[in-house]
Amino acid sequence: MNAMPDRDKTPRYWRNNLCLICILLAIWAIVTFVPAYYAESLNALKIFGWPFPFWVAAFGAPTVFLLIVGAYAWRMEQQDQRRRLERESESRRDKL
Amino acid sequence: MTNSKQRSFGAQLFRGYAAYTVGFIALVLLLALLEIAGLERQWIGYAFLLSTVALYAGIGIMCRTSDPVEYYVAGRRVPAVFNGMATAADWMSVASFIGLAGTLYLSGYNGLAYILGWTGGYVLVALFLAPYLRKFGGYTIPEFLGARFHGNSPRLVGVMCAVLCSFTYLVAQIYGVGIITTRMTGISFELGIFIGLGGVLVCSFLGGMRAVTWTQVGQYIILVIAYLVPVVWLAVKQTGDPIPQLAASSVLTQVIEHERVLSRDEAELEVRNIWQSRADLMQSRISKLPESWETEKQQLSVKLLRARAIDAPMVEIRSLERAFAAYPKSVEAARTVWSKARDDFAARAAPPMPHAEPFVSKSEESPQNVRNNFLATVLCLMLGTAGLPHILMRSLTTPSVGHARQSVFWSLLFILLLYLTAPALAILVKFEIYNNLVGMPFVDLPSWVSAWSAVDRSLISILDLNQDGIVQLSEVQIGGDIIVLAAPEIGGLPYVVSGLVAAGALAAALSTADGLLLTLSNALSHDTLLRGVSSRMGGGRQVILSKVLLLVVAFTAAWAATRTPADILFLVGAAFSFAASTFFPVLVMGIFWKRANQWGATSGMLAGLFTTIFYMVQTQPWLRELVLSVPLSTPIELWWGIQPIAAGVFGAPVAFVVMIVVSLLTPRPDALTYQLVEYLREPDEV
């Protein structure tokens, strides 16, 4: 019961959202900046016949961006659904 | 709208656009047959120009409306997939369609900053902005600022920033329309702009966002077909593999090998030495300024007099006369012109740039500096992409918050179809140039070389500098735009495909122009002082006001485009910096920090904007001359070596910090604002 007011301040739905955003943003940052920063030393590495940094910047990173956006849309759709049910039951409880 | 209704609407749209695609392909095939039957090239150009513009205008007429919800946000019933296509067309401008592959060809790895920046920005749109803007459900982005920060000042500053971001961008698109129609049909630049503008206006004027959305979907289909057909063809021709990325990976090793050979080739070295000696000559002239300005002028006039006296060939006299007429008018002008000539010659004296090698610089810049600029550009473009109002506006047209999130996914997917192909195209064309053009006798030059250099010398020019009758790579001067424009001819495709590519470029320019025009006129009519007038109007009258402003904006932009602005590419790049340092910080803070108030928002946006403008004015030579009247040749002091094009990386943090500090120093927002933010953070009802 003590946790109630706290949870009301930042609803679980929003906390989950922020958490998800942080994780995806971290992936975004790593994919964007790490291979580019170390591009010169990674250049000898080959992937599918391409030098690794070139492949990441041209094909790998944009594909990961697409996956990030897709994962966020999919996951939030589920969260939205759950939150809607939660709200429904809340309003039913209020009526009682 | 209920789910089943939505689904049947989607199915209807799918059938409609499938028929449209089939119809367009049939048109291309018909023109191909006519070409075989002997139709002239120019007529193919006309057919493409008129039929596509008529098609867009037709969709515009079909979607005409004066209902505000339809006019401003397309009735909020555009399914995610189609909204994604429309956003992709809205997003991909002439710079993406023609410029991107060219940049990758010319700067190899360093050019990938654009691919990273322009795709990574969509992650920020999806995570931070699109769902919340849709939940708010207004008509424009400044409207959101006005509601969230409770005041006219954030809204008006928002309008100012929207105009700043969108207007130069719009001018560039209209300029691009003029260039493409001129190249496609040979009609004059002004007439080309006029026809293009007609296509844009019929669409946005009659039907607002509704017409623009459905036209953009159609334009996306045309531009993606136009981009992929020649690349796939080229890939099959070179490797037998229809997937361009796989084909590119198999020729890449040969390209790298060619680069190695060409950088040591005897004849290449000879040509490069000639360029170097020309660069040295310029340098010696510059170092002897101001005396050399006088002596060179005298020498030139003596040469001219002597040529006339001995009755030299007319060509020689003419070229001397031209050189004399173009001679710099003052010592300062000479310094500028000669410095540029020296740099151009020095660049041509450099060995071929290794395509896949990261952070190679053409000048004496250190690799670390190139890397820092690469990262700064990527970040600036990402923040800018996420802040451009004409892209954010597109998330307002979806039926729900969930659709807004999915729409970003589809947008990025449709954009990637093109962006993942551009690096492959650059490599395939480079392979063709190294393999077939270099080492060829001048008498056997392929016809596309002379055809395109006749259109514009800056696209491609080849000069037999060492007079051995063989093409050396250092004798070839290539402008980036030719990579896409000439790809069909390089691949040996019929002319009809060249017409198709031009039609695709036109679609890219028109679709972006449509979106920008609407953003500008809606912001001006909906969010400025006119709001005081229009709020007393009915919905219909408000739409009429928007339409009038739309015409005003369109003609102003067309007028600006015919005046051929100085450095249009820099201005377009600047739009990203402006968006990154104004809209992105204020929108993110407005959604994710309840405590942000109107004083913080206004001062933060202004601080970000002024920092960006200040840096650009200090570091962009021609801008500095224009504003501060500092001569062009005065050396430039960069902050941490960052180029002015990425000025947004300084503006954005300043905007964030100012926003936080000023908000904390001023009273907290009222309870209503807290409620609004909490409302934005809840999922919507289905």
For the cut 80, the answer to whether the pLDDT of residue A7 exceeds it is no
Instruction: Find the domain containing A20 and state its range.
Output: 3-95
Domain range for B241 is 42-565
Q: What is the pLDDT of residue B40?
A: 82
Number of H helices, E strands in chain B: 32, 2
Evaluate whether residue B137 is within a structural domain. yes
Q: Do B412 and A72 touch (CB under 8 A)?
A: no
> What residues of chain A lie within 8 A of the CB of B360, using their CB?
none
- Going by pLDDT thresholds of 50, 70 and 90, the confidence category of residue B535 is low
**Residue B390 maps to a domain:** yes
Query: Which comes out higher in pLDDT, residue A28 or B627?
Result: A28
Structure tokens at B367: 């690799």
pLDDT at residue B578, as a whole number = 92
Percent of chain B surpassing pLDDT 90: 25
- At B638, the amino acid letter reads L
**Straight-line distance from the first to the last Cα atom of chain B, in angstroms, rounded to the nearest whole number:** 9
Instruction: Kindly list the distances between the CA atom of residue B320 and the CA atoms of B235, B282, B314, B463, B520, in Å, as whole numbers in the listed order.
Output: 46, 18, 10, 19, 49
pLDDT classification of B590: cutoffs 50, 70, 90: very high
- Model pLDDT, residue B84: 93
- Given a cut of 80, whether residue B37 has pLDDT beyond it is yes
Give per-residue pLDDT as tens, B43-58.
Answer: 888 888 888 888 888 8
The residues with which B461 forms a beta bridge, in sequence order, are B477
- Lowest mean pLDDT: which of A41-45, B82-86, B253-257, B380-384? A41-45
Please give the residue that has the higher pLDDT: either B530 or B387. Answer: B387
Task: Give tens-digit pLDDT for A50-92.
Answer: 888 999 999 999 999 999 999 999 999 988 888 888 888 888 8
* Residues 3-62 in A contacting B (C-alpha not used; CB under 8 Å): 11, 13-14, 17, 21, 24-25, 28, 32-33, 36-37, 39-40, 43, 48-51, 53-54, 57-59, 61-62
| pLDDT reported for residue A1 | 37
Q: Name the burial class of residue A21, with classes exposed (0-12), middle (13-18) and buried (19+) by CB atoms within 10 angstroms of its CB.
A: middle
- What is the torsional sign of CA B363, B366, B369, B370? positive
Alpha helices per DSSP H over B445-538: 447-455, 482-485, 487-490, 495-527, 530-534
- Say what the pLDDT of residue B539 is: 67
Looking at the DSSP bridge assignments, the partners of residue B462 are: B476
* Mean pLDDT, all residues of chain B: 86
pLDDT at res. A5: 43
Q: Check pLDDT > 70 for residue B363.
A: no
Best CA proximity match to B217, nearest among B434, B37, B416, B60: B60
- Residue type present at position B310: I
Q: How confident is the model at residue B498 (pLDDT cuts 50, 70, 90)?
A: confident
CA distance A65 to chain B (A): 6
Query: What is the DSSP-derived secondary structure letter of residue B470?
Result: B
* The pLDDT of residue B567: 65
**Pick from B456, B474, B576, B423: which is nearest to B107 by CA?**
B423
Backbone φ, ψ for residue B470 (5° rounding) = -120, 140
Which token pair is B466? 């060492």
Query: How many separate domains does chain B show?
Result: 1
What pLDDT is attached to residue B368?
A: 83
Beta carbons of B140 and B522 less than 8 angstroms apart: yes
**CB nearest A66 (choices: B378, B413, B682):** B413
Query: What is the pLDDT averaged over residues B636-664?
Result: 88
β-pairing, B460-462 vs B476-478, is antiparallel
User: What average pLDDT score do residues B402-430 get?
Assistant: 93
- Smallest CA–CA separation between A26 and chain B, in Å? 11
pLDDT band at A3 (very low <50, low <70, confident <90, very high): very low
Alpha-carbon distance A42 to A35, whole Å?
Answer: 8
Cβ atoms of residues B148 and B677 within 8 Å: yes
Residue B646 resides in a domain: no
Is the distance from CB of B121 to CB of B410 less than 8 angstroms? no
Give the residue carrying structure tokens 């480079």: B430
- The Cα B180–Cα B174 span in angstroms is 10
B chain contacts of residue A43, beta-carbon cutoff 8 Å: 356-358
Report the largest interatomic distance among the alpha carbons of chain A, rounded to a whole angstrom: 69
Q: Where are the beta strands (DSSP E) in B301-409?
A: none
pLDDT value for B153: 86
- Cα nearest neighbour of A50 on chain B: B249
Residue B257 located in a structural domain: yes
Q: Mean pLDDT across the stretch B294-320?
A: 83
Specify the amino acid at residue B145: L
**Residues constituting chain B:** 686
pLDDT in tens, B119-140: 999 999 999 999 999 999 888 8
pLDDT at B348: 81
Nearest to B120 by CA among A35, A6, A76: A35
- Please give the structure tokens belonging to residue B436: 């077939």
Contact (Cβ atoms closer than 8 angstroms) between residue B271 and residue B465: yes
Number of C-beta neighbours around residue B36 at 10 A: 10
Q: Write out the two tokens for B26.
A: 């049939």
Å from A53 to nearest chain B CA?
Answer: 8
Computed over every residue of chain A, the mean pLDDT equals 84
**What's the CATH number where B257 sits?**
1.20.1730
User: Helix count (H) and strand count (E) of chain A?
Assistant: 5, 2
pLDDT band at A2 (very low <50, low <70, confident <90, very high): very low
In angstroms, rounded to a whole number, what is the distance separating the alpha carbons of residues B442 and B352? Answer: 21
- Which residues make Cβ contacts (< 8 Å) with residue A74, sequence separation at least 6? none
Count of structural domains, chain A:
1
Query: For residue B534, is pLDDT > 80?
Result: no
The answer to whether the CB of B575 falls within 8 A of the CB of B165 is yes
